[in-house]
A and B are shown apart, each in its own frame.
Chain A
């Protein structure tokens, strides 16, 4: 099978253990890990958590009807625990992927950052460390809790997450300062050349496809904000008031709790569809820049691009259809997420092959 040749100029932009290579590998790995975590969360935790939350709310409402405040408190302790469990996992998923996006972005920006090569490499390592520790810290918040902490509401896992976030900010500020110096014409030794110019089918498809995905996401977000957001907020209060007003022995408690569950599901799928389609669009544009480094045949490169874009549409559309089609749509959405993940890993394999080829050439050069 013929392998696509490495574009001229790509080698000089991609030195071994240089900042760009570290950020590119680290960024794609963070995104892939974040997506895998999201898929596992969606399949094994999300729906079960939703069911348990409904049960806890029903227990609280029954305690109200039975005039039993201590049972209310027990039910709310359970509810709070469930919401924290869900919230920290969603946040870990989002922050890991976003850190990956930023890493890819920094990889693209390296030629415009006027810092020395060793400084850039150190910054890249620090950024990837922060990008990994931030979601790990968020994930651990639920499990570590307030154990051994001297603070009233902030546990050690939160401290870890916040410190990692601060590290990311510091690195970004230094990179921004390097960019500012670049704009002022200052240079710190030889800088990496710009990315090789590339107008291939893969590049153009990812670029235009990504922009269209983002536009679709923005349009849907604007529609949601205008048509649903306030209605959802007021409906939540109406349902909660219904729950509180139920007399003892009333049979409508379950209906109200089910209505509350449906509302939470409506909100969740709308927000998930909006955010996922935009994130996939952004990722498509980022991946368009990476294409010169994907060392695969044209056929395989196109397969990964098509699979990526197809998954990017399938996931948000079927997440939205979960309200009408139930778990079937949820399953299809998960398959869409898996398609994106597989395409991403496929491209990562291409980048690994590319680096191997470059390093082998460098070693065999006289």
Chain B
């Protein structure tokens, strides 16, 4: 088995397990509490507004915004890690059909794996007071994945697959 295939399959499997472990941890210890908090703060915002307590209503609405902002990104981390892991493994099975030299294939595989780790990591960093760094990671990671996938598509189309 070529180095590029090993990298994609092993990296993808590790990423899938990581994504699932995160999902399991999140579902058991965080999600229900987060959903309760999210629903609760929105309901409080409305209830406070009904009692004409404008400041409390605004505070509750801010809490809702913050909780939902985090929730969306936490779920995104789980789904994107697993989704990208699946893609890495699938491409690993067929990567020898990408018609480039093994060295180029390894570079593409490395870029795809690095992007698949960094992109969702950037998304989650946006929830822990590291929003600018998180955005840089997310943009760089997704650009890496897209570029690597584009190169893979070109490799599939080219003649002379090894």
The residues of A with any CB-CB pair to B shorter than 8 Å are 60-61, 63-64, 66-69, 71-73, 75-76, 79-80, 83, 94, 98, 101-102, 105, 108-109, 112, 153-154, 158, 161-162, 165-166, 168-169, 172-173, 175-176, 179-180, 183, 207-208, 211-212, 214-215, 218-219, 221-222, 225, 233, 236-237, 240-241, 243-245, 275, 278-279, 282, 285-286, 288-289
12 A–B pairs (Cβ distance < 8 Å), ordered by A: A75-B46, A76-B46, A79-B39, A102-B86, A105-B86, A108-B93, A166-B24, A208-B153, A215-B150, A222-B142, A244-B45, A275-B79
| Contacting residues of chain B (11-49) with chain A, CB-CB under 8 angstroms | 13-14, 16-17, 20-21, 23-24, 27-28, 32-33, 36, 39, 42-43, 45-47, 49
Residue of B13, B43, B50, B152 near A172 (CB, 8 A) is B13
CA distance A60 to B50 in the complex (A): 9
Residue of B32, B65, B149 near A154 (CB, 8 A) is B32
Q: Which residues of B contact A215 (CB under 8 A)?
A: 146, 149-150, 153
Counting from the closest, the 3 A-B pairs by CB-CB distance are A76-B43, A153-B32, A244-B49
Residue of B33, B36, B153 near A212 (CB, 8 A) is B153
- Interface class of chain B by DSSP: helix
Q: Which residues of B contact A279 (CB under 8 A)?
A: 83
CA distance A75 to B43 in the complex (A): 9
Instruction: Tell me whether A176 and B13 are in contact (CB under 8 A).
Output: yes
CA distance A243 to B61 in the complex (A): 12
B133 adjacent to chain A (CB < 8 Å)? no
Residue of A112, A244, A285, A286 near B46 (CB, 8 A) is A244
B97 adjacent to chain A (CB < 8 Å)? yes
The residues of B with any CB-CB pair to A shorter than 8 Å are 1, 6, 9-10, 13-14, 16-17, 20-21, 23-24, 27-28, 32-33, 36, 39, 42-43, 45-47, 49-52, 57, 61, 64-65, 68-69, 72, 79, 82-83, 86-87, 89-91, 93-94, 97, 138, 142-143, 145-146, 149-150, 152-153, 156-157
Chain B min CB distance to A273 (Å): 15
Q: Which residues of A contact B20 (CB under 8 A)?
A: 165, 168-169, 172
CA distance A288 to B90 in the complex (A): 11
Residue of A73, A169, A183, A207 near B6 (CB, 8 A) is A183
CA distance A309 to B14 in the complex (A): 30
Q: Which residue of A lies closest to B60 (CB)?
A: A244
